[in-house]
Amino acid sequence: MRLDYPVNVKIIRVPCTGKVDVMHLMRTIQMGADGAYVVGCLEGSCHYKQGNLRARERVMHVQKLLEEVGLEGDRVRMYNLSSGEGPTFAAYAKEMTEHIKKLGPNPLKKWSTATNKE
Amino acid sequence: MCVAKAICYDDVERESTLTVGSIILASGSQGYDPSKLDFLGYGKYPNVVTSEEFERILSASGPYRGHLCRPLDREEPKKIAWLQCVGSRDTNKCGNGYCSSVCCMYAIKEAMIAKEHVHGELDCVVFNMDIRSFGKDYEKYYLRAKDKDGVRFVKARIHTITEIPETGDLSVRFVNEAGEILEEIFNMVVLSVGLQIPESSKVLAKQLGIELNKYNFVTTDPFAPVITSRPGVYTCGVFQGPKDIPSSVTEASAAACMAGGDLVDARGTETKAIEIPDQQDVAEQTPRIGVFVCNCGINIGGVVNVPKVTEYAGTLPNVVFTDHNLFTCSQDTQDKIKEMIIEHKLNRVVVASCSPKTHEQMFMETLEACGLNRYLFEMANIRNQNSWIHSKSPELATQKAKDLVRMAVARSATLKQLNEKVISVNKQALVIGGGIAGMNAALGLGRQGFKVFLLEKESELGGFSLKLHHTIEGKDVKAYVKELIEQVRANANIEVIINARITDFAGYKGNFTTEVATGDQKQKLDHGIIIIATGAKEYIPIEYSYNEDPRVVTQVQLGDILEEKGAAGLDSVVMIQCVGSRNKENENCSRICCQNAVKNGIAIKKLNPDTNVYVLYRDIRTYGLMEDYYTEARNLGVIFIRFEEDNPPQVEPSSEGMIVKVKDHILQKNLEIRADLVTLSAGMVAEDTTELCGIMKFNRNPEGFFIEAHVKLRPVDMPGEGIFLCGTAHGPKLITEAIAQAQAAASRATTFLSKSHIKLSAITAQVDTEHCVKCLTCVRSCPFEVPVFNTEKQVIEIDDAICHGCGVCASVCPRQTIQLNFYEDNQITSKIDALLAGGM
């Protein structure tokens, strides 16, 4: 559909959002990403039955962990859509980007950029 | 001009002679040309378009690149009308008396997508006589359009369309149900054109000596839906009759089944096997990565600076070779990649181009062809996820392409060789259900030379069809079923097991074992595939005093009465449609009830023309060629009265007969009809398969019908490999449709059974049993109950053959002792690290 969405969104492919680990999400923030989001199938229509429901729970868990260490939990989110919903995908990408812009840069970035370069 | 030079513009017509054993005619249809209907203004007013043209307008590759505009001034419309039945259900103006079966659904779809595409509000109105959303779950889609998305549906036929010259808007004049002439202005009008057989198909049929019916569809028998009048020649798709994609795909497989059945001895004799060289082991080598960056013509190269990205790739760790190509997927580039793999001793390949969804398999085969394991391959999608969507910012897109390539290179270094397990296929089949569908599926497989176990839970074959007398075409169901049973019994490949109950089930595609109980005896059957044909039955109404008054019967019971006693003594019969369908308890349409009412209505009128027959309906859904019978019923004097869902008819007993009260929308009056017999068009409900599904773990929808792998593309496959589906177990359908579907299931099963070996996916979970603490979290979490605790060996085992590869176990394992092949933790984190190492 070639729908425009913000260039800062980069996709990492997984077989099912049920494969997305808490560790993966934590790592993105630790490494300096300003935000990360998981895009899964609509609730109730997971090809593997309930992978997307597990992903949602993990996202909520990561949000809590981030809050605990003094970061905005909302830097990590979960979205659901069906594979036929290109426009919704683009809309979520925009929504997430705008939301992260409002939150500002990830405070860990300075630290993580320094370590990344080492 | 095609940049890839894939089109040979100076090609000329050539004649060649092929010697074949069977022929399948699938020449399809074309949209009806509405320019002959001058009152619609098509061809005269630019903003009147056909549904096919509107489809192009909505398309990303269409004239306005997917932006919804009207042709006259490229303005975005605020109000669009769809006019149904243009070139269908119209014997007056165009001669096409049939219903095209697909227009209602595509009009709803177009309205829904149009609403998605506009920037503000869009008012969509569908002018129709009946909405025919009769397919599986179609009614739910219609309800969503109507109730949630605000698409308006107006029962009316259009009188004229005139253009308002100043604005290019269109004034639509129509007559509503009450007979009032109304006028409404639209920015755009879409004509929902019907399906029609093109001239060229008529010529083809004549050349081949195939009989066509009066509408030029291929003449077929209701009990042999894909067989033409000439032996060895089969047909499918719309050339057979108007139908949608799922039915066309189904019929295509059915035709393949019939055509293949004639050619059993020749199976596999003209196929060529691809020779794959032995795999070289590169596990111990340091990664040597080759990166190939694609221009994709101008698709990528027109936005992204491909030479810069290629140069950048060369600076990344472990990259020893880089190149860029006009089309990386072209045959000559494949050859070049092979050469480079050998010349530079590459042991990982990264292609930066398009989507792995479409091209990964092809590139993996290229690796395999030079002895490299196919899983040592990674793609960076710099087209769909980059150049296509960031075409307005080439510099940012080039930067993102570099990021994506860096991520892919990092991941590729972590990839491991994976080997797909090869297993043998058991050549026997299990068919569950001995009705018309199950028997046809068994015969289809039997004809192909496979041994079939046909299970029937009752003491005789036939299923629900034993209760039926005639099809709407007047064909004798009882005689057909009798003959079918004889054929099944006579087929040496088919073993019928009656009074059968499935008690246990194990195994995986190609190697299933099912335990079947008959009485006290149990036997274990080994089989490679399963066909589910458990069927459906007539809904038992709780409505309209069905259980209390003998004068209220169902259509099936009416069929019995007409068969036994005729219509003698019946002065008045009232039929009520959609009983047990299209309501809150069951939202779906049962597909078969309208034709049932029409069939029985015609039968009564033929037996006794003086009997008054009233059909109280919501939409008459005599799709396809059945529309002719609806016309015939009206000509014979059957009276059709429409009612609204929220104002259903009332049925009251009296000494004179049953009194039926209903509001007639055309007369705008409340009517009272006296009836000797009230016939309820009870819907179809799935057979109870709770016990079966508990054992075999098949997925059913909330209505109890089985769920196919893909509604359109894989209509008779179940999501689990080696398992197929047919007949009314899939959803309500006619006998003709069930037969086609059964043949289709047999055909799909044949493609599976004809292989001696199959490869299992290598993307499965692996347990590191040494570090596993046996907490059983994986056992509890797997949605398919794959991990098991082997009490003898005291370890968790995950069977490659049944693992679906979703990775849930890997992510719940608290000690990370489970890894999902190809998606191991470091194969994911390498991407995260590489992305962020660039300082996002």
Q: What is the ipTM of this complex?
A: 0.95
For B8, B214, B608, B664, the CA distances from B571, given in Å and listed in that order, are 71, 35, 9, 21
- Give the rounded distance of the alpha carbon of B393 from its chain centre: 39
pLDDT confidence band for A49 (50 / 70 / 90): confident
Q: Which of A84, A116, A96 is nearest to A9 (CA)?
A: A96
Does residue A2 sit at the B interface (CB-CB below 8 Å)? yes
One-letter amino acid for residue A30 of the chain: Q
Residues of B in contact with A23 (CB under 8 A): 825, 829
Q: Which of B775, B759, B765, B769 is nearest to B799 (CA)?
A: B765
For residues B589 and B633, state if they share a domain. Answer: yes
CA distance B680 to chain A (A): 34
Dihedral over Cα of B251, B256, B261, B262: its sign: positive
Q: Across-strand partners of B652? A: B659
pTM: 0.85
Residues of B in contact with A51 (CB under 8 A): 783, 806-808
One-letter amino acid for residue B565 of the chain: K
Which segments in chain B show pLDDT lower than 70?
Answer: 839-840
Q: Which of B753, B699, B751, B756 is nearest to B729 (CA)?
A: B699
Cβ contact (<8 Å) for A23 and B388? no
Residue B450 burial class via C-beta count within 10 angstroms: exposed 0-12, middle 13-18, buried 19 and up: buried
Cβ atoms of B574 and B555 within 8 Å: the answer is no
For residues B653 and B739, state if they share a domain. Answer: no
What is the 8-class DSSP label of residue B263? T
State whether residue B549 is helix, strand or coil: coil
Domain boundary among B685, B715, B742: B685
Q: Which of B785, B148, B388, B149 is nearest to A48 (CA)?
A: B785
For residues B151 and B44, state if they share a domain. Answer: yes
Cβ atoms of B550 and B465 within 8 Å: the answer is no
Tell me, what's the pLDDT at A118?
45
For residues B379 and B399, state if they share a domain. Answer: yes
Residues of A in contact with B825 (CB under 8 A): 21, 23-24
For residues B681 and B770, state if they share a domain. Answer: no
Q: Find, in chain A, the residue whose alpha carbon is nearest to that of B112.
A: A85
Q: What are phi and psi of B403, to 5 degrees?
A: -60, -45
The verdict on residue B222 lying in a domain is no
Does residue A26 sit at the B interface (CB-CB below 8 Å)? no
Q: Across-strand partners of B496? A: B454
For residues B356 and B485, state if they share a domain. Answer: no
Cα B416 from Cα B766, distance rounded (Å)? 13
Helices (H) and strands (E) in chain B, counts: 19, 40
Q: Find, in chain B, the residue whose alpha carbon is nearest to that of A90.
A: B389
pLDDT digits (tens, 9 = 90+) for A10-19: 999 999 999 9
Non-local (6+) Cβ contacts of A54 within 8 A are: A17, A18, B781, B808, B811, B812
Intra-chain end-to-end CA distance of chain A, in Å: 41
User: How many other C-beta atoms lie within 10 A of the C-beta of residue B725?
Assistant: 30
Mean pLDDT, chain A, integer: 90
CA distance B595 to chain A (A): 33
For residues B447 and B406, state if they share a domain. Answer: no
For residues B377 and B444, state if they share a domain. Answer: no
Cβ atoms of B624 and B98 within 8 Å: the answer is yes
Kindly give the interhelix angle for B394-414 and B825-837, rounded to the nearest 10 degrees.
150
Tell me, what's the pLDDT at B593?
97
CA distance B373 to chain A (A): 20
CA dihedral B831, B834, B839, B840 (to 10 degrees): -30
Non-local (6+) Cβ contacts of A68 within 8 A are: none
For residues B724 and B824, state if they share a domain. Answer: no
Selected residue of A2, A8, A100 to mutate for chain B interface (largest B Cβ count, 10 A): A2
Non-local (6+) Cβ contacts of B271 within 8 A are: none
**Given a cut of 80, is residue A2 above it in pLDDT?**
no
Cβ contact (<8 Å) for A2 and B116? no
**Given a cut of 80, is residue A114 above it in pLDDT?**
no
Q: Which of A57, A61, A62, A47 is nearest to A15 (CA)?
A: A47
For residues B448 and B528, state if they share a domain. Answer: yes
Tell me, what's the pLDDT at A47?
79
Dihedral over Cα of B651, B653, B658, B662: its sign: negative
Angle at A64 between CA A60 and CA A68, to 5 degrees: 170
Q: Which of B102, B103, B108, B137 is nearest to B237 (CA)?
A: B102
User: How many other C-beta atoms lie within 10 A of the C-beta of residue B605?
Assistant: 21
Phi-psi region of B722 (alpha: psi -120 to 50; beta: other; left: phi over 0): left
Total number of domains in chain B: 5
Cα A105 from Cα B403, distance rounded (Å)? 19
Cα B588 from Cα B138, distance rounded (Å)? 7
Size of interface A-B (CB pairs under 8 A): 112
Residues of B in contact with A108 (CB under 8 A): none
Cβ contact (<8 Å) for B811 and A54? yes
| Paired sense of beta strands B795-797 and B788-790, if any | antiparallel
**Given a cut of 90, is residue A82 above it in pLDDT?**
no
The verdict on residue B231 lying in a domain is no
Cα B185 from Cα B500, distance rounded (Å)? 63
Residues of A in contact with B820 (CB under 8 A): 15, 19
- Give the rounded distance of the alpha carbon of B458 from its chain centre: 31
Cβ contact (<8 Å) for A28 and B836? yes
Residue A94 burial class via C-beta count within 10 angstroms: exposed 0-12, middle 13-18, buried 19 and up: middle
Q: Residue B516 belongs to a domain with what CATH number? A: 3.50.50.60
Cα A87 from Cα B385, distance rounded (Å)? 14
CA distance B466 to chain A (A): 37
Cβ contact (<8 Å) for B808 and A48? yes
Range of the domain at B643: 538-685
Of A12, A18, A28, the CB nearest to B808: A18
Residues of A in contact with B385 (CB under 8 A): 10-11
Q: Residue B798 belongs to a domain with what CATH number? A: 3.30.70.20
The residue written with tokens 């069939």 in the block is B599
CA distance A34 to chain B (A): 8
Domain boundary among B358, B391, B414: B414
Domain boundary among B728, B758, B788: B758
CB contacts under 8 A, A 28-67 vs B, are 28, 31-34, 47-51, 54, 58
Cα B332 from Cα B336, distance rounded (Å)? 6
For residues B593 and B669, state if they share a domain. Answer: yes
Q: Which of B54, B58, B60 is nearest to B31 (CA)?
A: B54
Cβ contact (<8 Å) for A31 and B832? yes
Question: How does DSSP assign B229-243, residue by residue?
Answer: SSTTEEE-GGGTSS-
Residues of A in contact with B390 (CB under 8 A): 4, 7
Tell me, what's the pLDDT at B100?
98
For residues B448 and B526, state if they share a domain. Answer: yes
Kindly give the interhelix angle for B627-635 and B593-607, rounded to the nearest 10 degrees.
40
Q: What is the residue extent of each domain of chain A?
A: 17-103
One-letter amino acid for residue A115 of the chain: T
One-letter amino acid for residue B54 of the chain: F
CA distance A6 to chain B (A): 8
- Strands annotated E in B475-584: 494-497, 500-508, 511-518, 521-527, 529-532, 536-538, 552-554, 572-579
Selected residue of A9, A30, A31, A113 to mutate for chain B interface (largest B Cβ count, 10 A): A31
User: Considering all CA atoms of chain A, what is the largest pairwise distance in Å, rounded to the nearest integer?
Assistant: 45
